Amino acid sequence: MKISAISLYGLDLPLETPQVLSRGRVFDRFKSTFIKIDTDEGISGWGEVCPWGSSYLAAFPGGVRAALMEMAPQLIGHDPLRPDVLVRYMDRILAGHIYAKAAVDFAIWDIMGKAMSRPIYELLGGKEENPVPRMASVHLDSFDQMNSEIERKRSVGFKNFSVKMGRGIDEDIATIRNVTEQRRPGELFIFDSNGGWSPHEATRVMNSVADLDTTFEQPCLTYEECLDVRTRTRQPISLDECMIELRDYVRALSDRGCELVSIKLARVGGLTKARAIRDLCLAYDINMFMMCMAGTVVNDTVAAHFAQTIPANRFCGAWSCQDYITVDPAPQRGARTVNGHMPPPSLPGLGVEPDLEVLGEPLAVYK
């Protein structure tokens, strides 16, 4: 089997309400890029990459499209059934930009699943007895609004919550205490500053709530800062934004720098590279959260397939973007939230394709 054509599409994703993160970052829409890879045997695969704007990670929508346009002509004629070989080839023809390469990786796993008549989770190692619980984000707002959002998600089956931080030391401490007082049995709350605290701020906040059962995610921007904070505090830490390549996870686990990690599939370069990260975390008994980045049900379905391969006792939740956007390119298809969980479809490959009438005309086509 050979790649015979590659088409790129763009889609704007307005958000129902603006999402607010630390360091004054506000997002009211995302820009997603879709890739369709055709083969000479009539099987096509789909992928999607959608960064959180341009100020969240070292990834941005224009970078996705430019990188894919650079690589696409050089991928024609290659075998999509050899994911490791193709990923190494992409790394040779374009340095870095692994978030953009994830789109190709997702599409070839879709092709492989269709060619073998198996869902992607079976190709990734097999289906675990994991119902794929969802993780709900609770963004910065008033106490009443944040508590209302928690209750709304709780009422439809959510038990895992990522509560955003970043309004100042005193307000963050008050938020943590307010939320923790209302926690119910079996619920998990992660307090996430998205790298927004300085080491001084993180240490003060975390030590001020040391009497509570709390977990913190990415308290500071860099790994070195987070590790410094870890020596001054006692609560469990989850690392997210600073974890990009396998070597970052190796370093953190060797340093005993965290108890949990977040695996963003696009950020780490796709499913092919994420497999090794998953297996490393399992070897160290590290619990995992995961998502793709932003995007539509196409990305959420990729995440659901990967999450399905993680044992339930090591999986803490998958974040999904489809609940926050106003555009749906594949209505009633793909991985959807049911009672706080997001199981993947059992169809061959990814199990969902976007409607071309929603995507519109392609940005570029390569043959």
Annotated catalytic residue 264: yes
Spot the catalytic one: 101, 153, 164, 273: 164
What are the percentages of helix, strand and coil residues in the chain, rounded to 5? 35, 25, 40
CA 45 to mean position of chain CA atoms: 20
C-alpha to C-alpha distance for 230 and 118, rounded to whole angstroms: 43
CB 360 within 8 A of CB 9: yes
The number of residues making up the chain comes to 367
- Residue 268 DSSP one-character state: T
Residue type, 114: K
The reply to whether 164 belongs to the active site is yes
CA-to-CA separations, 129 to 153, 158, 293, in angstroms, rounded: 24, 18, 24
Mapped onto helix, strand or coil, the DSSP state of residue 335 is: coil
User: Which of 101, 264, 273, 367 does the annotation list as catalytic?
Assistant: 264
Rounded distance, CA 10 to CA 61, Å?
Answer: 9
The count of other CB atoms within 10 Å of the CB of residue 291 is 26
Spatial contact of 99 and 267, defined as CB atoms under 8 Å apart: yes
Contact between residue 243 and residue 261 where contact means Cβ atoms under 8 Å apart = yes
Tokens of 82: 């050899």
3-state secondary structure 15-40: EEEEEEECCCEEEEEEEEEEEEEEEC
Contact call for residues 348 and 113 (beta carbons, < 8 A): yes
DSSP annotation of 325 reads B
Active site members: 164, 264
